[in-house]
């Protein structure tokens, strides 16, 4: 029985190694894999090699958020910073032949695999199958859990938002049943527009998205225009928030809150409408890595971010003006000091 098990394991390892070579990954030990990059990467690229690149950039101090496997604007900036540090020009964040050769010349990078073959830690896409990896820590329970999802009372719609840092804009009350459930990913539809209406890419307005468990920060994303994908019309965009890891214990209710930070100094008011994007907008994991999807597209909130106010200063002559006077200064003194010449009132 032991011999048969070993043969099966050996066979699986052989298949995995062959498939690994196809994508430029080679197993170096049971606990690590060396990645040598075999393709160009740019904004929009996905895969385990993107995760490996992000992990490696983090060790160099250029990447400060959790690797996702998606090459967005944050990864582009990190690559550009690395290129500038080693003298690669132009340093525009395109991971092409010159940069690949530079990284591969150092022996590639090492990543630690997860529990699922083909899914290094932090990866979204399985490099063996192309399917999604589980993006959060699975429950130790083998029982599949379920969620009841409702809109949280807070934050409510707000037509007079005057802040621009960590403004709560969306909330979900999540009740787990049967087993612990982990929220892994959320696709959020966000529309930003001025009166008219005149719609724009939310990345021109929003620079940071955060998820909170009460007052505890769960995860933060720096975002730009390339992180928002145009939805079903030219008026709406959605953003994918991955690797959330928000755990809802069995038979408890927790509130997941989304906040945004925006660019200050807007010239006109901005309307922001946020809801789930599509019927699979919320992805959860429970039991033995069982994925479940929930539709939160009907749960929405609307906010109006007000432009900074304009202060007005009114200046008028004092009701008791200074009387006419003559001040004489001789040539041997140090002059005259603190002589009141006129008074004004301001309001």
Residue 335 located in a structural domain? no
Query: Are 232 and 248 within 8 A, CB to CB?
Result: no
Q: Return the number of other C-beta atoms located less than 10 Å from residue 141's C-beta.
A: 15
Residue 180 in domain: yes
Q: Is residue 79 part of a domain?
A: yes
Residue 80 lies in a domain: yes
Long-range contact pairs involving 222-225 (C-beta distance under 8 Å, separation at least 24):
222/65, 222/74, 223/72, 223/73, 224/72, 224/73, 224/74, 225/73, 225/201
Asked if 233 and 151 sit in the same domain, the reply is yes
> What integer is the mean pLDDT of 171-194?
93
Q: What is the Cα–Cα distance from 282 to 107, expressed in whole angstroms?
A: 39
Q: What is the pLDDT of residue 149?
A: 95
Instruction: Give the mean pLDDT of 117-136.
Output: 52
Helices (H), ranges, the chain: 2-22, 48-59, 73-86, 97-105
Give this prediction's pTM: 0.53
Specify the number of domains making up the chain: 2
User: Higher pLDDT residue, 91 or 347?
Assistant: 91
Is 259 found in the same domain as 199?
yes
Judge whether 336 lies within some domain: no
Is residue 340 in some structural domain? no
The answer to whether residues 151 and 28 belong to one domain is no
Count CA atoms closer than 13 A to 343's CA, side-chain side: 11
What pLDDT sits at residue 120?
54
Which among 166, 147, 165 has a CA at the least distance from the CA of 258? 166
Residues 273 and 181 in one domain: yes
Q: What is the mean pLDDT of residues 287-313?
A: 85
267 located within any domain: yes
- Average of per-residue pLDDT across 91-98: 92
Interval 196-244: pLDDT, tens? 788 999 999 999 999 998 888 888 999 999 999 887 777 889 999 988 9
DSSP for 10-45, written as a single string = HHHHHHHHHHHHHTTEEE-SSS-EEE---S-B-TT-
Query: By three-state DSSP, how is residue 46 classified?
Result: strand
**Which of 20, 219, 6, 245 shows the shortest CA–CA distance to 113?**
20
Residue 247 has pLDDT above 70, yes or no: yes
Torsion of CA 20, 22, 25, 26, to 10 degrees: 60
Let me know whether 17 and 164 are in one domain: no
Does residue 212 sit in the same domain as residue 260?
A: yes
Residue 341 resides in a domain: no
At 47, which CATH number? 1.10.101.10
- pLDDT digits over 137-151, tens only? 444 556 788 999 999
Classify strands 158-161 and 300-305 as parallel, antiparallel or unpaired.
parallel
What percentage of the chain carries pLDDT values higher than 70? 73
The pair of structure tokens assigned to 292 is 């479940």
Q: CA-to-CA distance for 222 and 121, rounded, in angstroms?
A: 21
């Amino acid at each position: 029985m032991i011999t048969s098990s070993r043969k099966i394991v050996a066979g699986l390892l052989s298949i995995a190694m062959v498939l690994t070579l196809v994508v430029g990954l080679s197993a170096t030990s049971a606990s690590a894999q060396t990645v040598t990059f075999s393709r160009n990467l740019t904004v929009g690229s996905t895969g385990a090699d993107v995760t490996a690149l992000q992990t490696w950039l983090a060790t160099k101090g250029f990447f400060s958020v959790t690797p996702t496997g998606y090459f967005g604007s944050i990864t582009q900036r990190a690559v550009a910073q690395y290129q500038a540090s080693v003298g690669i020009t132009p340093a525009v964040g395109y991971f092409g032949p010159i940069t690949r050769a530079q990284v591969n010349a150092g022996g590639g990078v090492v990543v630690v695999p997860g529990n699922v073959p083909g899914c290094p830690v932090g990866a979204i896409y399985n490099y063996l199958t192309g399917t999604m990896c589980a993006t959060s820590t699975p429950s130790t329970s083998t029982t599949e859990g379920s969620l009841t999802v409702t809109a949280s009372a807070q934050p409510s719609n707000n037509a007079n938002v005057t802040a621009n840092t960590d403004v709560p804009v969306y909330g979900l009350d999540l009740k787990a049943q049967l087993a612990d459930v982990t929220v892994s990913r959320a696709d959020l539809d966000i529309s930003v527009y001025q009166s008219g209406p005149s719609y724009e890419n939310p990345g021109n307005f929003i620079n940071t998205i955060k998820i909170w468990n009460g007052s505890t920060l769960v995860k933060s994303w720096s975002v730009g225009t390339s992180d928002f994908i145009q939805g079903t019309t030219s008026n709406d965009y959605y953003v994918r928030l991955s690797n959330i890891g928000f755990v809802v214990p069995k038979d408890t209710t927790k509130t997941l809150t989304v906040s945004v930070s925006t660019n200050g100094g807007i010239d006109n008011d901005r309307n922001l409408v946020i809801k789930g994007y599509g019927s699979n907008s919320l992805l959860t994991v429970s039991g033995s890595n069982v994925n479940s999807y929930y539709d939160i597209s009907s749960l929405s909130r609307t906010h109006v971010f007000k432009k900074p106010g304009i202060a007005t200063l009114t200046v008028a002559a004092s009701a008791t003006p200074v009387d006419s006077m003559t001040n004489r200064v001789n040539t041997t003194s140090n002059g005259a000091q603190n002589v009141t010449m006129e008074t004004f009132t301001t309001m």
